[in-house]
Structure 1
Amino acid sequence: MFSKSYTLLPQGDCPKTPGLFVDPVSFTQRGPHKGFSFDNIPNVSENDFTDASQGWLSWICNLIVIFFVYFFTFITFPVTGWFVLKTVPNYQRIVAFRLGRVGPPKGPGIVLVLPLIDQWQRVDLRTRAFNIPPSQVITLDGGELLVGADIQFRIWNPVMSVLSVQDLNASTRMTAQKAMTYLLAKRTVREIQTQRVKLGEYLVTDINEMTRPWGLEVDRVELALGSVLKAPEQSPSAPLTMPPAVPGLEDLTDPIQQLAMHFLGGIQQPQQEDCITFTDELSSAAQNVMATPRSVEELLDAVKLLLSEALVHQVGACFQFDVSSENGQHHNYFVDLSQGSGAAGAGSLCREPDVTLSMSDSDLLAMFQGVLRPFSAYTSGRLKIQGDIDTAMKLEELIKLLQK
């Protein structure tokens, strides 16, 4: 009865591999999807709308009823034309059920919907989005954190979306939340924070394996990381764990946490006492006399002793420090590790610095001495960074050398 051909909308590239919730054996076998729990429906996925369950008597009755409806619509066309002609835009399709049996989707353009015997529903093919609210996830290393997600999907088969699921948005949201929880439970906290994009791609594949029988396809999944509720357990079996969270700073966003782990994670030394090494007047080899700097100028003198071509080759960037004192005065200092053997001193650089750090003189001394964690200073606003954060991370090499 439905002999009109129908071409499915193009579906995006999706790896032909089973996901987390798909049986590899059943995935390779040909046959109907498990999402259909009833048998007497057309093979929509193969674009076959013939109804083999319809007997010859039912088929004759349908033809008689459809003939009379067409005849009634034709003779009263000036009036019924306002009710039977529907305009379908290019981003929509109409799924019509004629006497209870589904047919190919109609549109775009002007389509005919018969009165009394046709029940129809509009389906929007545009990309839509929803978000999964942050939920608690227990990771592989024993940590607990809040993770949400932003998901974009579109319908590529309007007939399957109407036949297979009643509430498409709610079903997709529940499926995506279950797949996200299952995947993140097999990862550590640090893997989740550093591999967020890759985990989103894995979720796209897993969700598509489950929602393909519904006629929809997930285009993008972007994880939204929340606060760390419980720090991961430090054990030899879990080497990829992040350091314990700072009290009062657990609800920080992902970029700040990555900054703390990479750039500021290694600067967690206890406060060192003042140490003085005396020289032997009778010794021919001079020894270093090193004391804890009491001012920014003394700190610069200590930095100048560490400058070398190897450090410049390793860092390759210049830094500008805007330092404010307790009396309200502002001073500028620079550390140039971009050329030669490096340079450090007071004033401003002749060229534009790669990174500018703004803080007080006491905080600057405390940071280079290991007393103040730069992570806490950055998140509390005592340290402000202008420029590329990845370049600022390279300053860690100089701080490590100064603390030795």
Structure 2
Amino acid sequence: MFGKSGYQAVPLGDWNQPSINSELYKGTSSNILFSTDAGSSYDYVPKIDDSDLRDKSQGLLSWICSGIVTLLVALLTLVTLPISGWFVLKVVPNYERIVLFRLGRIRAPKGPGVVLVLPFIDQWKKVDLRTKAFNVPPCKIMTKDGALISVGADIQFRVWNPVLSLVAVQDLNNSTRMTAQNVMTDTLIKKRLKEIQTEKLRIEEYLVADINYRTKAWGIEVDRVEMMIEAVIKLPEGSVPGGHLIMPPGVPGLECLSGPLQQMAMHFLSKDATPTQQEAGSIEIVNETTCVSAPTSLHLSVEDLLSAVEVFLSESLVNRVQALYQFNITMSNGTVKTCFLDLSQGTGKAGQGVPCNTPDVVLDMSEEDLLAIFSGNLRPLGAYMSGRVQVHGDLKTAMRLEEVVKALKHQ
């Protein structure tokens, strides 16, 4: 069957072990397309050698007919020059290749530069070789220890074989996205929550290797996988609420850092804002499903809080903070009250209403959360990570509110 059609099977002998090397497929494209091995499901890929554009498996009669038709079209193109030159000459940039189908038979990729495409008998498609990216939508995954998390991912890949990317898969982007989502799900359900948090970089490297192993026959190479843990919906069975911190994917003020560096920066930021020394190597978890309220014995209003804060404002505190904060507070009756804390100049000032100058950070929160933060029962970082406080501005500047909380405790 395959001898008559001119197609041969693609070998899988050297694909048994995945690798995460960026040179994973260097020098293998010609071997994939020109082989005598059998037994692969990709047996429709024709054998084409980059150094010989003829399809040697073609029958004699078919070859003679194709040659005659090609010659006639070439003569017609030559006679109608220069008018035909506008239609048959294609300019291919360095980052693209043209895959040519002449009379239905695939040819070697063309480009870069000027490429001749014969009319009537040539069909062609451009393939972009630049790195592309897509995201895997967040999905809920049950981990090995019973935790329920919402996880997504960003995937970067590039085409290393233009021919395979066209003939081996119909929808390259969608197929790669579904494969990446399945690989990520299959990997994370075998991990515990703590392993996912502490070994994120190693898991990402494994995902790169596994996705490459499953998609190499499509002519693509995955360069990078970055997991994004959106939230911990349910803690592991038997765990105590209040424990490990899940980093959100986008942290204002730290967007320039990569995922692992952003996690490290946020970890040290959390340690700097903590009044007590954390255990070395530990990661704190914020339970996003349990609200932390201020003690019932503390009955303060926003006005009382502002009066208490104004008492201990000083130049030393202003020098440590150097920021102007605006608080949009949602009261228990549903109304919104605005107040400010000016620690940018002088001895500082606190009051109600909108500040005269443009605030450095605007924080949206409820009255209960505001009182909990300034009473020390709710840390600013934990409130932000759990979504109870919305920060508009630089996160690092917002976290300097911890200095005000420390001063209140000291007083």
CA contact (8 A) 2:89 2:115 kept: yes
Partner of 1:62: 66
Distance 2:89 2:313 in 1: 80
Distance 2:140 2:370 in 1: 41
Counterparts of residues 205-224 of structure 1 (less than 5 Å)? 205-224=209-228
- Do structure 1's residue 13 and structure 2's residue 16 form an aligned pair? no
Partner of 1:262: 283
Unaligned segments of structure 2, at least 5 residues: 1-18, 26-34, 252-265, 275-281, 326-340, 342-366
- Do structure 1's residue 380 and structure 2's residue 384 form an aligned pair? no
Counterparts of residues 35-46 of structure 1 (less than 5 Å)? 36-38=41-43, 41-42=46-47
Q: How many residues align?
A: 305
Cα distance 1:251–1:101, how it changes in 2: closer, same or farther (>3 A)? same
CA contact (8 A) 1:42 1:50 kept: no
Equivalent position to 1:189, from 182, 189, 193: 193
DSSP 3-state at the match of 1:150: strand
DSSP 3-state at the match of 1:207: helix
Counterparts of residues 200-349 of structure 1 (less than 5 Å)? 200-234=204-238, 243=241, 253=248, 262-263=283-284, 326=304, 328-329=306-307, 331=309, 347-349=314-316
Tell me the amino acid that sits aligned with residue 38 of structure 1.
D
Cα distance 1:380–1:59, how it changes in 2: closer, same or farther (>3 A)? closer
Partner of 1:109: 113
Partner of 2:57: 53
The root-mean-square deviation of aligned C-alpha atoms, in Å, is: 5.1
Unaligned segments of structure 1, at least 5 residues: 1-10, 18-29, 235-240, 274-293, 295-323, 334-344
Equivalent position to 2:147, from 116, 134, 143: 143
1:212, distance to aligned residue in structure 2 (A): 1.4
DSSP 3-state at the match of 1:77: coil
DSSP 3-state at the match of 1:78: coil
Distance 2:322 2:199 in 1: 26
Partner of 1:341: none
1:158, distance to aligned residue in structure 2 (A): 0.6
DSSP 3-state at the match of 1:114: coil
CA contact (8 A) 2:305 2:371 kept: no
Q: Which moved more, 1:189-198 or 1:106-115?
A: 189-198
Partner of 1:286: none
CA contact (8 A) 2:380 2:399 kept: no
Partner of 1:285: none
- Do structure 1's residue 173 and structure 2's residue 159 form an aligned pair? no
Cα distance 1:332–1:127, how it changes in 2: closer, same or farther (>3 A)? farther
Q: Which moved more, 1:32-41 or 1:349-358?
A: 349-358
CA contact (8 A) 1:332 1:348 kept: no
CA contact (8 A) 2:138 2:153 kept: yes
Distance 2:165 2:209 in 1: 19
CA contact (8 A) 1:374 1:383 kept: no
Distance 2:284 2:219 in 1: 46
DSSP 3-state at the match of 1:145: strand
1:390, distance to aligned residue in structure 2 (A): 11
1:171, distance to aligned residue in structure 2 (A): 0.9
CA contact (8 A) 2:229 2:246 kept: no
Distance 1:172 1:386 in 2: 35
Distance 1:71 1:93 in 2: 26
Tell me the amino acid that sits aligned with residue 59 of structure 2.
G
Tell me the amino acid that sits aligned with residue 109 of structure 1.
G
Residue deviations 1:146-172 (CA, integer Å, cap 9, x gap): 211111111111111112111111111
Q: What is the identity percentage for the equivalent residue pairs of Structure 1 and Structure 2? A: 40
Counterparts of residues 17-32 of structure 1 (less than 5 Å)? none
Distance 1:36 1:251 in 2: 42
Q: Which has the larger radius of gyration?
A: 1
CA contact (8 A) 1:35 1:213 kept: no
Tell me the amino acid that sits aligned with residue 175 of structure 1.
T
Normalised to the residue count of structure 1, the TM-score between the two structures is 0.59
Normalised to the residue count of structure 2, the TM-score between the two structures is 0.58
Tell me the amino acid that sits aligned with residue 184 of structure 2.
M
Equivalent position to 2:157, from 153, 157, 160: 153
Distance 1:12 1:372 in 2: 43
DSSP 3-state at the match of 2:304: coil
- Do structure 1's residue 74 and structure 2's residue 56 form an aligned pair? no
1:62, distance to aligned residue in structure 2 (A): 2.1
Distance 1:51 1:245 in 2: 64
Distance 1:354 1:117 in 2: 73
DSSP 3-state at the match of 1:166: coil
Partner of 1:125: 129
